[in-house]
């Protein structure tokens, strides 16, 4: 056996958060990731940036047959690389994982199997259908559907299967599902037995259709019903009315664009997903160090000479503290310097350094910050350090100077636009044009500006009139207004959690209005 390892990892049926801890560990350390095209793209964000990624399978842009995939795994392993073979569902449940493992064994290559949640188990759970239940029979039968379209049912004992009192579950495309349902009815399965179809299971676009076996057969026999789905037949389907949980969440199915920098989007994306939304990441900006770090370094070296340091964003905190700790000084240099954090997110970022915060203004606009600082003492002659973004507005330093303060504004970080086409992300222009977006979120003025630039200044305002626009606060909303974009959702507290709550309240209120 060679020392190189090959891991056959089950990715689960769609939801990227269903990846196991062991699968996560192997995926994040692999040199090469060979993945099924059906695997959720967000799961691939876990892969090391320098790792090779290879899309395979029948649905891939350049599909490889099974023999070619096996040879590819062996070739990469013999190069001394650690290989993660990421497979949709579970590698050993109605999948080719067994063939791949046997080939590797015959080649003398060591491997490990990391089970995943099979589609025929996980998808019904997300639809509120337990595949077994004490009073619903003592058997669970999983039937394999053919890969690719076929109207011929699998070669099983349909007569015997139809007589077994229990649950039958399969995953296949429309023509195959129609053939299976017909075979079950023809061999004695009651036409009135409960059945369900689950499309795009475990994803925010999931859709579940309940009916009798006969009704489901008629539905999937239609020419426009060729999409793959999970079919569940059995008394357990009736429990869906009581056990639905996934598709009843307040934002279920809502497609919400997240424009935050990718490195900072995790909190917003996670919160939206937990509430059932389908977050579409379209990072319009990235946060980077200033082109000339000298002014920030000089300010850090002299930081003990300031009376106040006013932080207006979490980015300002992280970049100034990083520069401070990288130099000869440390947090002790802040002794005697009073610290102002504008907004709870900024305060949270500062508190991570175990530093006492002297002031968190109740208002986040420039006039509110100046008013809060004035309550402590007259600002005449007060030395204030203001670390901020390169494109920050001049309103705050101007008002501080008018109040008599001696302000040193330094660039702590830059926000640079992201080329959406170069990143290979979603076609956001097309999605907006086709009305496939519900809400677009903005958490900074620069994210608004660069989003508009990416869409085209002339088209952006018109496209965004078709959706709800959520801005984290009035400063961001002001930038949107200047670009002829109306803000329909804005929280009273200017934080990510508060913005998510405001989105939920807005969607819930609209739903109630539509129902009445």
The string of pLDDT tens digits covering residues 76-99 is 999 999 999 999 999 999 988 999
- Per DSSP, the residues of 304-372 read GG-SEEEE-SHHHHHHHHHHHHHSS--GGGGTT-EEEESSHHHHHHHHTTT----B--S--SHHHHHHH
When pLDDT is cut at 50, 70 and 90, the band that residue 113 belongs to is very high
Q: Which CATH fold topology does 255-284+418-515 show?
A: Rossmann fold (3.40.50)
* Dihedral class, residue 312 (left if φ above 0, else alpha if ψ from -120 to 50, else beta): alpha
Average pLDDT of every residue of the chain? 90
Tokens of 451: 């989003």
When pLDDT is cut at 50, 70 and 90, the band that residue 1 belongs to is very low
Look at residue 377 in the predicted model and tell me its pLDDT.
Answer: 76
Which run of H or E residues covers position 33? strand 32-36
Q: What is the pLDDT of residues 6-20, one digit of tens each?
A: 999 999 999 999 999
When pLDDT is cut at 50, 70 and 90, the band that residue 424 belongs to is low
When pLDDT is cut at 50, 70 and 90, the band that residue 150 belongs to is low
Beta strand 111-114 with 6-10 is parallel
Which residues sit opposite 139 in a β-bridge?
166
Look at residue 2 in the predicted model and tell me its pLDDT.
Answer: 47
Angle, helices 294-301 vs 314-326, to 10°: value is 70
pTM here? 0.80
Distances (CA, A) of 503 to 13, 17, 497, 500: 28, 23, 10, 5
CATH code, residues 6-116? 3.40.1010.10
In the chain, ranges of CATH 3.40.50.10090 domains: 255-284+418-515, 289-416
* Percent of the chain residues topping a pLDDT of 70: 96
Look at residue 423 in the predicted model and tell me its pLDDT.
Answer: 66
Residue range 121-247 forms a domain whose CATH class is alpha beta
Name every residue whose Cβ is closer than 8 Å to that of residue 441 and which is 6 or more positions away in sequence: 256, 257, 258, 259, 260, 268, 469, 470, 471, 472, 499, 503
Tokens of 351: 């508190």
In the chain, ranges of CATH 3.30.950.10 domains: 121-247
Q: What is the pLDDT of residues 495-516, one digit of tens each?
A: 899 999 999 999 999 988 888 7
Q: What is the pLDDT of residues 267-299, one digit of tens each?
A: 899 999 999 999 999 998 888 899 999 999 999
Q: Please compute the mean of the pLDDT values over residues 241-245 and round it to a whole number.
A: 96
β-sheet with 468-471: strand ranges across: 278-281, 255-258, 439-442, 468-471
Between residues 423 and 324, the one the model is more confident about = 324
Q: Which CATH fold topology does 289-416 show?
A: Rossmann fold (3.40.50)
d(CA 23, CA 211): 37
Least confident of 174-183, 188-197, 326-335, 472-481: 326-335
Residue indicated by tokens 């009798």? 212
Between residues 147 and 384, the one the model is more confident about = 384
For the cut 60, the answer to whether the pLDDT of residue 24 exceeds it is yes
Look at residue 132 in the predicted model and tell me its pLDDT.
Answer: 95
Q: Please compute the mean of the pLDDT values over residues 119-136 and round it to a whole number.
A: 95
When pLDDT is cut at 50, 70 and 90, the band that residue 229 belongs to is very high
Look at residue 353 in the predicted model and tell me its pLDDT.
Answer: 86
Q: Which of 409, 234, 413 is nearest to 323 (CA)?
A: 413
Which residues sit opposite 411 in a β-bridge?
388
In the chain, ranges of CATH 3.40.1010.10 domains: 6-116
């Amino acid at each position: 056996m060679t020392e190189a390892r090959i891991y056959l990892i089950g990715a689960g049926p769609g939801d990227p958060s269903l990846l196991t801890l062991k699968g996560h560990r192997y995926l994040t350390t692999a040199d090469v990731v060979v993945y099924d095209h059906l695997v959720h793209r967000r799961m691939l964000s876990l892969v090391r940036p320098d790792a090779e990624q290879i899309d395979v399978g029948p649905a891939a842009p350049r599909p490889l047959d099974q023999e070619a995939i096996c040879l590819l795994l062996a070739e990469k392993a013999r190069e001394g690389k650690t290989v993660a073979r990421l497979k949709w569902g579970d590698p050993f449940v109605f999948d080719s994982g067994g063939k791949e493992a046997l080939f590797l064994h015959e080649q003398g290559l060591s491997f490990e199997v990391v089970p995943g949640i099979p589609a025929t188990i996980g998808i019904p759970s997300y639809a509120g259908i337990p595949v077994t239940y004490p009073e619903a029979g003592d058997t669970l039968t999983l039937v394999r559907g053919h890969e690719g379209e076929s109207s011929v049912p699998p070669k099983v004992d349909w007569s015997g299967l139809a007589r077994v009192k229990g649950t039958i579950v399969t995953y296949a495309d429309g023509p195959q599902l129609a053939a299976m349902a017909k075979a079950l009815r023809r061999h004695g399965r009651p036409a009135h037995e409960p059945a369900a179809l689950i499309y795009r299971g475990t994803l925010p676009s999931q859709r579940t259709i309940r009916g009798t076996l006969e009704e489901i057969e008629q539905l999937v026999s239609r020419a426009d019903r060729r999409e793959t789905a999970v079919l569940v037949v059995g008394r357990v389907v009736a429990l869906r009315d009581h056990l639905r949980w996934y598709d009843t969440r307040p934002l279920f199915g809502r497609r919400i664009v997240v424009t935050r920098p990718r490195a900072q989007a995790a909190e917003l994306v996670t919160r939206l997903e937990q509430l059932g939304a389908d977050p579409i990441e379209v990072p319009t900006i990235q946060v980077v160090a200033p082109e000339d770090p000298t002014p920030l370094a000089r300010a850090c070296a002299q930081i003990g000479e300031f009376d106040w340091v006013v932080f207006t964003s979490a980015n300002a905190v992280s970049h100034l503290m990083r520069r401070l700790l990288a130099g000869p000084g440390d947090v002790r240099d802040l002794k005697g310097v009073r610290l102002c954090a504008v907004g709870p997110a900024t305060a949270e970022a500062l508190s991570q350094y175990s530093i006492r915060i002297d002031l968190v203004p109740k208002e986040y606009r420039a006039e509110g910050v100046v008013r809060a600082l004035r309550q402590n003492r007259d600002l005449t002659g007060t030395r204030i350090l203001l670390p901020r973004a390169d494109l920050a507005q001049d309103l705050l330093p101007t008002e501080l100077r008018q109040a008599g303060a001696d302000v040193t504004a330094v660039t702590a970080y830059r926000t640079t636009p992201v080329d959406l086409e170069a990143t290979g992300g979603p076609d956001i222009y097309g999605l907006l044009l086709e009305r496939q977006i519900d809400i677009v979120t903005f958490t900074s003025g620069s994210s608004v500006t660069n989003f508009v630039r990416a869409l085209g200044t002339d088209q952006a305002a018109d496209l965004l009139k078709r959706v709800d626009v959520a801005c984290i606060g009035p400063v961001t909303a002001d930038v949107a207004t200047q670009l002829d974009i109306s803000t329909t959702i804005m929280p009273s507290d200017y934080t990510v959690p508060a913005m998510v709550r405001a989105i939920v309240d807005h969607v819930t209120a609209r739903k109630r209005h539509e129902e009445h």
